Amino acid sequence: MSRAITPRVAVVTGTSSGIGAAVVAHFCQQGHQVLAVDFNPDGREVAEAAGAVFYQADLTDADACRSAVAEAVSRFGGVDILVNNAGIQHVASIEDFPEAKWRQIIDLMLTAPFLLTQAAWPSMREKGWGRIVNIASVHAQVASPGKAAYISAKHGLIGLTKTAALEGGAQGITANALCPAYVKTPLVDNQIADQAKLHGMEEQEVIEQIMLKNAAVKRLIDPAEVAELVAYLTSDAAGAVTGSSWNIDLGWTAQ
């Protein structure tokens, strides 16, 4: 017998498309109150269509991270679930990687999840219940050329996840990371073109020879598949699951 879903308050970042949009839609279908946070103003239409409240923020700014959580607390009375999903990509060799782009990626994809977790923690602690899901990547487990900042941020996110799990266990707060391989999102679509330029390849060759080279299942992942796993990890049923990195990587790391 399946358990009834308890309505919760969720903050999700990076919600204008892809994984974030799929998570917001799934949460709203479950009856959760959702604050959808994104830098892109086009995210408002996506959020409101799903039944969520949109909050525009540049999460590379520390005050914006804190303000997003404060908005959820003010509007909904607290935060039960935090999904750190916002991310960007830049493909270049280490030798050519711009320092400004490095700092932007680390700020958005590692510092912001820390600050959002820190801001949401008191609400979760007071309730004695919290779920943190960090959308990492298969590149939190393995590396590839041309993605120094992205891979460094994702590896760091696993460390943050494990630390949050250890500190939150006694307070009813769990923290887990998801490590998907290539998901069919605008971010990945942009990477295909960037990788083609970097390696001097056709775009279809990038998909077949780079993105799916190490996959046992030869296809891109649908964002809804990731959202389903997020839904489980943020449920009451997953109360014993914490500090884990969940690979949804088409068999990439089975080698």
Residues recognised as catalytic: 150
Cα 235 to Cα 5: distance, rounded to the nearest angstrom:
7
Please give the radius of gyration of the chain, using alpha carbons only, rounded to the nearest integer.
18
Cβ–Cβ < 8 Å for 112, 86: yes
**Cα distances (Å, whole numbers) of residue 48 to 61, 86, 94, 216:** 24, 18, 40, 37
Chain-centre distance of CA 82, in angstroms? 10
Cβ–Cβ < 8 Å for 205, 195: no
